[in-house]
Amino acid sequence: MTKGKKELKTNKNKKKRSFRNTLWILVGIGACLFMLLTILSDVLEVGEKLRKAGDIGVYLEWGFYILTVLLLYVLIINPIRIILFSPSFSVVTVLDEENEKNIRVYKRIVNNLVDNNYINEEEKTVLKSCESAGELREELTKVFNTSIKKDINKIIFSNAKTVMLSTAISQNGKFDMYTVLAVNVKMVKEIVLKCGFRPSYPKLGKLTFKVVSTALVAENLEGLDFSDIFPQSTNNVLADIPFIKPIAASFVNGISNALLTIRIGVITRRYLFSDGNLSNSQIRVQAIKESLKMIPDVIKEVLVYFPSKIVNGLFKKKKNNEGSESTN
């Protein structure tokens, strides 16, 4: 009787897990369709405006459509295609059966790592000498948690810096949205290529939802009011400098977008390996912690591109507070 109850409970858990997985896949597909419809709406709106630009309006319109399709393929569709057609693999599935399918997947991943020189000669030799799926899995786990993990963090850092700089300079919410979307898709593709495998389809559905949500947040951040973001001392320092207020507000937008980009990159990495026993909430919490640790270095590198008056104004209150504390 007890055995029957356990089997019934196991079957229920499997059905729940299957339902959740299917739901996240549908959510991911829905997020993709929503973003494609958003892009289509914006493209048609711009095309309509170009059509009214005199005699050459029609040619400008169709030229814009062609350029948009090319950019959409290069920046969005092709990276998604690469991600979807990569093999699915979980480093932490130590109890998997050593069947032929697993061995083929492991060897495909090893060949990708070797062919692209993602690992050193010693690691290549060890991986090539493995014969069983168990040995391959164990050695791959070691490689992923050492050299590959460091490289992935570099990829995350680089893309976060790109997002921060681009959206900080930009004064347009739509541009920010598409920049964040394109860079995040590119980042996930680079992480997948670096590892040689992708997250499962349900996890890809979650990632798709997070990427689209981040892009929409990037667009809405443009509406933040400068006076609500910065302290009064900063307002006073920058008030008389032309065009500085919107640039400084965009600087904060850039930081926010970079932080969200880091979070997506860390979640992608954690979906791929080392966190199979963690719940989704634990992965989110750890991703936030890692994001907060990484963002100061991103800000530090991006600051060199901004005028010193902006930088000094942004951090004036902090310095003044430190000075008053030391006086006390």
Answer for the pair 184, 277: CB distance below 8 angstroms, yes or no. Answer: no
**Over pLDDT 70: what percentage of the chain?**
74
pLDDT at residue 238 tops 50: no
Task: Provide the b/e sequence for 66-76 (b: ≥16 CB within 10 Å).
Answer: eebeeebeebb
Mean pLDDT lowest for which of 56-60, 149-153, 296-300, 307-311? Answer: 307-311
What does the pLDDT average to over 17-45? 91
Q: How far apart are CA 176 and CA 124, in angstroms?
A: 41
Mean pLDDT lowest for which of 17-31, 78-92, 181-195, 212-226? Answer: 212-226
Q: Two tokens at 192?
A: 């997948």
List the beta bridge partners of residue 88. Answer: 198
- Burial class of residue 89, CB neighbours in 10 A (0-12, 13-18, 19+): buried
What does the pLDDT average to over 223-239? 49
List the beta bridge partners of residue 198. Answer: 88
Backbone φ and ψ of 132, nearest 5°: -90, 160
pLDDT value at residue 229: 46
What does the pLDDT average to over 158-184? 89
Per the model's pLDDT, the better-predicted residue between 258 and 3 turns out to be 258
Q: Which residues contact 248 (CB under 8 A, 6 or more apart)?
A: 226, 230, 234, 238, 310, 313, 314
Q: How far apart are CA 42 and CA 249, in angstroms?
A: 25
**pLDDT tens digits for 101-121?**
667 777 777 777 777 777 788
Answer for the pair 222, 173: CB distance below 8 angstroms, yes or no. Answer: yes
Q: Which residues contact 12 (CB under 8 A, 6 or more apart)?
A: none
Look at residue 198 and give its three-state secondary structure.
strand
Q: Two tokens at 16?
A: 């729940």
Mean pLDDT lowest for which of 194-198, 286-290, 293-297, 313-317? Answer: 313-317
The DSSP output letter for 87 is P
Answer for the pair 149, 269: CB distance below 8 angstroms, yes or no. Answer: yes
What does the pLDDT average to over 63-88? 92
